[in-house]
Structure 1
Amino acid sequence: MINARGGKVYHDITKHSFLEIPDSMEGKVYEVLSVGLQKEGHPIVTVQVGDLVQVYRLPQDYVNWINHLREASVMGIKMLPAKVEFGKRSDGSYYAEIL
């Protein structure tokens, strides 16, 4: 199926690659169009790179972040689309920062 942002979403989550997130304090910035939870609570993100719109899996660590964005959206606060930095802290935890 094609989502509202033009990304192809597979019913089988394993067909999606994981978003490339560096294992260093310096994260990687993506143009994030939307986020969501796939079946069984798997977090996904739709990003745009140039003219290409792609849907990727995220580690389970991002479920709370996605739920926060979804709750804000319901209250009328639209945070996406936006540039978002994804990274991994020295303690091994993941982060996402809207720039």
Structure 2
Amino acid sequence: MKYRKKPVEIEAFVWTGNFEQKEDPVWIVQAIDSGTVVIPHYEDSAAKYGFLAMEIKTLEGVMIAKQGDYVIQGVQGEIYPCKPDIFEATYEKV
């Protein structure tokens, strides 16, 4: 059987890794404040991952966003990263 994704609207932004990023949506700021999303200090991040990372706590465990990845808030408020090529193949701007 084949399946097609239902059309749903999500919110997302490209994470630049710049602490002065101006287009951070309210929901990511709230997730950082609550500890659901953690941005380790650059030295800690570089030592652990080799790049600046955003750690996102999900039901499946901690997922990592790199600079340039999309960060998505899903239909139930869940937050997760998505690689740009997958995002662009899956979503279109509304």
Give the alignment's TM-score, normalised by structure 1.
0.31
Larger fraction in strand: 1
Give the alignment's TM-score, normalised by structure 2.
0.32
Larger fraction in helix: 2
- Specify the structure having the higher radius of gyration (Cα): 2
